[in-house]
């Protein structure tokens, strides 16, 4: 037997004796202490940094990526925060298991280099659900133990001996398992060398929201909209104008362009009729017609925030839509919108035209802004610039015109004339800034999208690759 093994074995046996001694001598003091709730989060006596999640930050719900960007200077470090807090029971009884879902009031441990307004430093003790965070132990912990009566002392002694026996048995089992685990044996009978864990290894990465078209989510949204228009048609009332949609795993919310406090079943009105909300389960059982037009045919996904997918109807813009910020991220966002308008079930009659956009978006040669405008105006004879849709036999056609750069003065006036048509048939998106911008969106290289006047900040997906830009 090797000398190190004998030394470790002696340490284990000494530990067994100490465990038995401590169990029989210290147990009365433990038993006499008053009962109290177990700590939800383990007390950190060292100088840890932590942060309490707010209901919102700058008008939007908080999420790990945003917290990492604000306090660590890099949104991609959300994985470190997730690893520090994964599975910890929070004051409301919940725990962090999904990196896209955090709840206001939760306490998050942060890496040591975190800094900024709201970052706290020091021990964090959070008691049972409902208690507040504090750096000091609870009063119950400091209260002295009351002396036990004679009868209670006899009963307590019996319980203590039983506990001591259990501790001894547990120590023996732990020692045996320690020996077995420390000396795994290979087939040849030689000790197997253990590969040490990588230092600083993070939790398995959880996929961030991506810009890939989500077919399942699209069909869920489409059916909810079909239920909406079907119920309105059956009740002889107009379909409410929808300009934004929010959806998570269980509920869908519609933000209306005009408030309506009298929703159809199973919708419920919130914020004085500005929002209609319903459970996806309740909507499944209701009839839906495919023959009625969608209330928001030019609906596209902005991104996600707090586990909620946010979509906007581009047709509600009363002017041009400007996409600014990182050029590669802006092009990726517009490409995702193009894919959604070309694939979503609610946008079947929408014509998508692009000019001055790289071939990876148009699927062919790069065409000029002038040619794309001509096609949108109905003067173009070549449909090669159309990504989806086209002439509908004289019927009203809704369109989205995408311009890859800011047009010159003459072309800009033509684009503005398209937007100003009485039938609001066209939406114009410009990758750049113009004097006619109604909505201005700014997207960062890391995928953070600020919608400006719409008051929403979302995460569009992983940062775009720079190759070939």
Query: pLDDT tens digit string along 265-324?
Result: 899 999 999 999 999 988 888 888 888 888 999 999 999 988 899 999 998 887 899 999
Kindly report the number of other CB atoms within 10 A of residue 224's CB atom: 21
Higher pLDDT, 25 or 160: 160
Q: What is the pLDDT of residue 468?
A: 35
CA of 100: how far to CAs of 108, 209, 282, 355, 458, in Å? Answer: 14, 9, 25, 36, 12
User: For the domain 319-459, what is the CATH code?
Assistant: 3.40.50
C-alpha pair distances (Å), 455 with each of 210, 353, 450: 22, 28, 8
> Taking Cα atoms as reference points, which of 210, 212, 450, 457 lies closest to residue 326?
450
Helix (H, G, I), strand (E, B) or coil at 96: strand
Residue 191 in contact with residue 185, Cβ under 8 Å? yes
What pLDDT score does 302 carry? 93
* Mean pLDDT score of the chain: 73
Pairing of strands 268-270, 125-126: unpaired
Span of 283-297, 307-321, 359-373, 434-448 with lowest mean pLDDT: 359-373
Residues 370, 412: Cα–Cα separation, whole Å: 10
Least confident of 88-102, 104-118, 380-394, 433-447: 380-394
Residue 277 has a pLDDT of: 95
User: Is the torsion defined by CA of 314, 239, 456, 77 positive or negative?
Assistant: negative
| 454, pLDDT greater than 90 | no
User: In this model, does residue 391 exceed pLDDT 60?
Assistant: no
Q: Residues 64-122: pLDDT tens digits? A: 888 988 999 888 888 889 888 888 888 888 888 888 788 888 999 999 899 998 898 87
Q: Where are the beta strands (DSSP E) in 280-328?
A: 299-305, 308-313, 320-325
pLDDT, tens digit, 9 for 90 and up, residues 101-114: 888 889 999 998 99
> Which of the pair, 397 or 351, is modelled with greater confidence?
351
| Domain boundaries, given as residue ranges, for the chain | 3-33+145-182, 49-142, 215-313, 319-459
- pTM beyond 0.75: no
* pLDDT the model gives residue 431: 93
Residue whose pair of structure tokens reads 């998050």 in the numeric block:
108
Q: Which two tokens stand for residue 70?
A: 């604000």
Least confident of 142-146, 300-304, 334-338, 398-402: 142-146
């Amino acid at each position: 037997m090797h000398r190190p093994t004998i030394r470790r074995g002696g340490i284990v046996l000494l530990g067994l004796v100490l465990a038995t001694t401590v169990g029989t001598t210290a147990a009365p003091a433990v038993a006499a202490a008053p009962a109290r709730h177990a700590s939800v989060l383990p007390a950190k006596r060292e100088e840890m940094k932590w942060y309490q999640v707010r209901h919102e930050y700058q008008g939007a719900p908080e999420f790990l990526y945003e917290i990492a960007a604000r306090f660590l200077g890099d949104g991609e470090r959300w994985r470190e925060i997730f690893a520090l807090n994964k599975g910890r029971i929070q004051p409301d009884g919940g725990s962090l298991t999904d990196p896209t879902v955090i709840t206001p009031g939760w306490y998050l441990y942060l890496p040591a280099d975190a800094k900024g307004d709201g970052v706290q430093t020091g021990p964090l003790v959070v008691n049972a659900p409902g208690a507040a965070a504090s750096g000091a132990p609870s009063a119950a912990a400091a209260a002295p133990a009351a002396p036990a009566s004679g009868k209670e002392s006899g009963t307590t002694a019996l319980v203590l001996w039983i506990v001591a026996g259990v501790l001894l048995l547990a120590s023996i089992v732990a020692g045996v398992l320690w020996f077995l685990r420390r000396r795994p044996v290979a087939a040849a009978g030689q000790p197997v060398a253990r590969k040490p864990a990588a230092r600083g290894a993070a939790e398995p990465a959880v996929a961030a929201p991506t810009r890939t078209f989500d077919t399942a989510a699209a069909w869920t949204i489409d059916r909810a909209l079909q239920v909406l228009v079907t119920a309105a048609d059956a009740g002889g009332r107009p379909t409410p104008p929808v300009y934004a949609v929010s959806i998570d795993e269980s509920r869908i919310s519609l933000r209306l362009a005009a408030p309506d406090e009298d929703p159809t079943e199973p919708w419920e009105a919130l914020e004085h009729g500005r929002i209609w909300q319903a459970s996806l389960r309740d909507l499944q059982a209701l009839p839906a017609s495919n023959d009625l037009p969608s209330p928001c045919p030019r609906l596209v996904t902005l991104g996600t925030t707090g586990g909620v997918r946010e979509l906007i109807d581009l047709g509600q813009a009363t002017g041009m839509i400007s996409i600014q910020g990182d050029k590669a991220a802006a092009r990726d966002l517009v490409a995702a919108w193009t894919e959604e308008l070309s694939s979503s079930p609610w946008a079947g009659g929408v014509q998508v035209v692009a000019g001055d956009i790289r071939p990876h978006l148009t699927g062919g040669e790069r065409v000029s802004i002038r040619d794309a405008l001509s096609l949108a105006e109905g003067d173009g004879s070549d449909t090669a610039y159309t990504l989806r849709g086209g002439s509908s036999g004289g019927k009203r056609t809704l369109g989205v015109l995408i311009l890859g750069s800011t047009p010159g003065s003459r072309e800009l006036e033509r684009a503005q004339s398209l937007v100003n048509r009485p039938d609001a048939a066209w939406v114009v998106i410009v990758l750049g800034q113009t004097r006619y911008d109604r909505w201005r969106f700014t997207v960062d290289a890391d995928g953070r999208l600020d919608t400006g006047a719409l008051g929403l900040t979302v995460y569009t997906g992983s940062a775009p690759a720079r190759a070939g830009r």
